[in-house]
Structure 1
């Protein structure tokens, strides 16, 4: 039920430079009752999109994420981006570039930009602990570096090589992204 922020996310993806990359944006509707599907359909002429519907709710993001993984059909790189995030113009090319530079790595993340509904950062998000975690532990770093053992990227923005799903790896119901990425 966040069609408004989804529109902004899709807008940023549509405006991003894809160069000659083959990309597909998969949106999982987790049983919304707003106009999420209409928003997605409004981008079909500007962005390669696929709509999936996940009726189960109550397990956070794990059910919708696993719905997408079960649907399959992904390329070599699978990126996860929340519906309240935007990307810079060079995001797609940046994802490809770091994956090319680091072929031995499977998990990647980058700077995150949150769309706050009222343009003001809420009080709960101002604590140092939230800032360290929520900014993917990389807010001030502008060069490539490895994620230290015991740290994980924020679930709002990360990507992996498709090979990590070999053997059926999926998202767990509790701390879905953290649990998933700490296993890599």
Structure 2
């Protein structure tokens, strides 16, 4: 279990026709890798996440409780195949394209529970909750069904709270310290999917 890439982004206009009320909105969903296996640069992590990383809407992203968004690299093949099929273009997403800060390998949603702790280098993190996708994700990947596909697949990723700050470098190993193990990220996703199906809320 390790970090393959650390990514950061700035708030920029996000264009798309994936919401009836918006043609352009502010978003920092487009993250770029600033530390990876090929170029392992040290990155400063504080209680609000990666130093210099931005979020446009702090009600749904960022802050103490959603400081770091983690996404498993194992899911990238799913997205490349889906988006290539649906957009009729060859798609090969780079790490950070899902909007994540940490792209990791070796852990997925069925193995991660709310309250688990991650020890990465000298830093400590706590698992908070899954990521709930919205229309901005649809616009970012140019496919109006992307948010629905994220929930239906269970490939949501999750948010971390920063318990101990410091610097991290891509390639760092991850040690998982189990919490109470009451609710996994996959179980949260299943519950959210059920609620959205009842309300038909996919915008």
TM-score normalised by L of structure 2: 0.28
Higher helix share: 1
Structure number with the higher strand fraction is 2
**Larger RCO (CA under 8 A, 6+ residues apart):** 2
